[in-house]
Amino acid sequence: MNFLKNKWWSIVILLLAVGGFSAYKYAYKPHATTESLSASFKGDASNFLTKVSSNSEEWLNKAVVLSGKITSVDNEGVVLNDQIFCQFNKEEKVTAKVNDEITVKGVVIGYDDLLEELKINNCILKNN
């Protein structure tokens, strides 16, 4: 009888260990990178801005690939076509200058109706 009790506890402990390991792997899975996300829109930045201004909620947290002209550069990112702020990943080194045509991939985080500015983060440079 003592042997059956030990076997029962061994099974319970094994199940708890497997369940705990599975829960840990699920909770701490790596974040999706911008490279791995599939783009919901690919095209010109001006065309996308028109789509977003009419229904910004539809585009939140979606990856997009945009092409446009740099109108401003700062330490954190660039502004495309005077209205789309692209914040780059910390690892991404941007050497582009004002008036350069670039293509970026990033995730839409919001549209400011008052300033009519779109914000995209986790941007990476794409090859044209």
What's the CATH number for 41-126?
Answer: 2.40.50.140
- For residue 85, the 8-state DSSP code is E
Q: Round to whole Å and give the CA distance between 75 and 90.
A: 10
pTM: 0.72
**Checking DSSP bridges between strand 84-88 and strand 101-112, what pairing results, if any?**
unpaired
pLDDT tens for 48-103 read 888 888 887 888 989 999 999 999 988 888 999 999 999 987 777 778 888 899 99
Longest Cα separation, the chain: 82
Domain boundary assignment for the chain: 1-30, 41-126
Using one digit for the tens of pLDDT, what is the confidence trace for 90-108? 777 778 888 899 999 999 9
* Strands (E) located in 9-116: 41-44, 63-73, 77-80, 84-88, 101-112
